[in-house]
A and B are shown apart, each in its own frame.
Chain A
């Protein structure tokens, strides 16, 4: 007993205590991290596939009115393999092609735009002739929670479907209006208190599509190859 007391009073006891404490805590954390790692990784994969599929929900007869969230991970992967093919444009850039029964229904492009604080990563689905948007999906962002981060909300993203991209007189610029106003055609309701993030999505996506079109998809650039 007296031995123990003297060790407790020694100068090394605090150091010893901290080492033991951090060893135990770190060990538990490392174990739980290892346990959750696979799950997180698998989830990321499935969630990417779900995001890609979610842009083409009306084209998926298997759903039968169910939502993608109701499906198991294996079913998602199966759907993904049936409909979506990954293509590469150049060494760094990949895009996705959605086709059903041999018919090409649209492209999905990963697009990154500058938000107020962070780079916003989106998936943009469009008709293969660049005529209109099929939909957009924000997959990663670091904007302010409750403000800019609301670009992930469904109503904001759904506004894009059916909006025109390329028309006879060039690339269409979508007009931003207040969140509470009634939108007419060619208008996007922006998020209250997050003008910069909303604008970033609208104009960033347009710019990226324009570049992609001019470099790779227009008749002229196709003719060059």
Chain B
């Protein structure tokens, strides 16, 4: 009984957006979403890193951790893989494409502590996904995160000109907007019923 990878992909973008329903990746979401451009940069970087690290972690988990019976070390191993991958990507990008480095590179260090990336690897293990399913889930979660942070950044740029109650300025109003976005995304779940 395997769930179709496409279903997982779209569910991860819309009905069960990793940020709006699982609250993962909130810290960088709240701090970076002031400008549309930088949000896009961070979002793309997150997408790229999620897809790659999910693939690597899938391989590490099933080829190393399971055969050696050291599944209990998965948290440490996943974190190391993610940190190492981010560092390597940073080195490569800096070396081969300075332009890309200036647009994306600055966001890479922020990513190591982004719970969304670590979370995707953990969900993959808990839900017992196959390789294809894991990649679909990773790609969906990454795209969903990108979509959420881009929309929030767009909204926040409009908000600069509005009068917000003093106590709500900053984090408060951002959370309320995120809540409304989360409500809107629940609207998609009407679609998920037709499986």
Contacts and interface: CB of A to CB of B under 8 A. Distances in A.
Given A116-B16, A195-B189, A195-B193, A142 B72 contact: no
B1 A142 contact: no
B193 to A, nearest CB: 6
Interface string B1-34: 1110000100100011000011000000000000
A196 B127 contact: no
Most chain B beta-carbon neighbours within 10 Å: one of A30, A112, A116, A193: A116
B11 A119 contact: no
B57 to A, nearest CB: 17
A94 interface: no
Contact of A117 (B70, B72, B127): B127
Contacts of A112: 1
A117 B3 CA distance: 8
Contacts of B70: 30
Contacts of A33: 72
A199 interface: yes
Interface residues of B, number: 21
Contacts of A113: 1
Interface string A93-129: 0000000000000000000111111110000000000
B188 to A, nearest CB: 12
A196 B189 CA distance: 9
Interface string B113-127: 000000000010011
Nearest to A195: B193
Contacts of A26: 73
B192 interface: yes
The range of chain A's interface size is 10 to 19
B72 A29 contact: yes
Contacts of A142: 123, 126-128
B97 interface: no
A116 B186 CA distance: 14
Contacts of A114: 1-3, 195
A117 B1 contact: no
Contact of B3 (A119, A144, A193): A119
Contacts of A115: 3
Contacts of B11: 116-117
Given A26-B73, A29-B73, A116 B192 contact: yes
Contacts of B8: 117
Interface in A36-53: none
A116 B21 CA distance: 14
Sorted nearest first, the 3 A-B pairs with minimum C-beta distance are A118-B127, A142-B127, A33-B72
Interface of A: 26, 29-30, 33, 112-119, 142, 144, 193, 195-196, 199
9 contacts: A26-B73, A30-B70, A115-B3, A117-B16, A118-B127, A119-B127, A119-B128, A193-B186, A196-B189
